[in-house]
Homo-oligomer: A and B are copies of this chain.
Amino acid sequence: MINIAIIGLGYWGPNLLRNFNNNERCNVVKVCEKNPIIIDNFSYEHKDIIFTTSLDEVLNDKNIDAVVIATPISTHYKIAIASLKKGKHVFIEKPLADTIKQCESLISLAKKNSLCLFVDHTFLYTEAVNKIKSISSKKDFGEMMYYDSTRINLGLIQNDVNVMWDLAVHDLAILNFIMNDKPKLVSAIGHKHFTSKPITTAYLTIKYSSNFIAHINVNWLSPVKIRQTIIAGSKKMIVYNDLEPSDKLSVFNKGVDVIANNKSNSNNLINYKIGDTYMPNLKNKEALSLAVEEFLRSIYSKLSPLTDGTSGLNVVKILEAANISINKNGKPVTI
């Protein structure tokens, strides 16, 4: 049985608490949270768990095998590195850390101490994203053409990270998961609508070595909530609407061929193929419970998890480049 401590019970922490609590291969023994009012609310229903405001109490508790970090991003590195030093496995909310350098330190320390470093890119544990990967990697999908994602809503405007680090991070994890090719350069542009707050509206475009382009539109100031992604191959195209309760994926048997011809400028050389559309049935298993399962499996098996430190690093690499590009109004930055 693995003994777990949860650190942070803000927005996402309660979901982690619930999922680790429900897993039979581990035991949540401690929770660390700075806000005593939150502790009051949760301790009432969780009499078997020790609640504390002291991080050190958790780190120094030799009984604890693994920590689950759900604190503000700016604190990720500090808490994670301290935990690894104390010999604890680390499950950390996305993104892994603030900078490439920090990510690399975490990876190297985890490796040295033979500990599991897990970053919670939850979307990679959804059936929708796994279905996208399996459909798009088949031959009849054709060549990957583009990924175009709109991830916008009203709020919650963060204080310590801009909208890319909050929302685009999901798309970057998905992209790295489904693409074999590596990103080459990123051009990003954004706007800070409130001087005292981070950038609320941003657009990232990523070019790859192959014939593939990715575009991500993230915004905290949209009147409507949209979670729509198009993943287009040359022979099939997927529309992924994450707000649909079921039927999240529509797979279109549509494509475009340009047939080589001597008179290369003539219109009739384009062939639009249009066929049936289908929506694969997806199970409703909570992705977070599968992420928790993968983390525990990785500790037991000593095999690297799907979303390991490197996976977290690869996302931060793009975000760091995008930050530089944003400061230069879209100037492309090599990744």
Q: Which residues of A line the B interface, CB within 8 A?
A: 45, 47, 145-146, 148, 150, 152, 154-157, 159-160, 185, 187, 189-191, 193-194, 196-197, 201, 203, 205, 207, 211, 213, 215, 217, 219, 221-224, 230, 232, 234, 237-239, 247, 250, 252-254, 256, 258, 260, 264-267, 269-270, 272, 274-281, 325, 328-332
Contacts and interface: CB of A to CB of B under 8 A. Distances in A.
Contacts of A213: 189-191, 201
Contact of A256 (B154, B230, B274, B277): B154
A329 B186 CA distance: 9
A305 to B, nearest CB: 30
A280 B279 CA distance: 11
Q: List the 10 shortest-distance A-B pairs measured between CB atoms, nearest first.
A: A187-B330, A278-B278, A223-B237, A223-B252, A329-B332, A277-B279, A194-B258, A191-B213, A189-B205, A196-B264
B221 A256 contact: yes
A146 B201 contact: yes
Contacts of A270: 155, 157, 197
A215 B216 CA distance: 12
Given A205-B203, A329-B187, A239 B215 contact: no
Contact of A221 (B145, B194, B222, B277): B145
Interface of chain A, helix or strand or loop or mixed?
A: strand
Contacts of A150: 150
A269 B197 CA distance: 10
Contacts of A189: 187, 205, 207, 213, 330, 332
Instruction: With a 10 A CB-CB cut-off, give which of A221, A266, A331 has the most chain B CB atoms.
Output: A221
B329 A256 contact: no
A221 B258 contact: no
Given A148-B217, A187-B330, 20 more contacts: A145-B201, A148-B152, A157-B258, A160-B265, A189-B207, A196-B269, A203-B203, A203-B205, A207-B329, A217-B217, A223-B232, A223-B238, A223-B250, A223-B254, A224-B252, A276-B278, A276-B281, A278-B279, A329-B332, A330-B332
A230 B239 contact: no
Nearest to A230: B222
Contacts of A156: 267
A237 B222 CA distance: 8
A47 B191 CA distance: 51
Given A155-B270, A275-B281, A281-B276, A217 B215 contact: yes
A60 B154 CA distance: 53
A145 B154 CA distance: 13
Contact of A223 (B221, B223, B230): B230
Nearest to A222: B230
Nearest to A224: B239
A281 B277 contact: yes
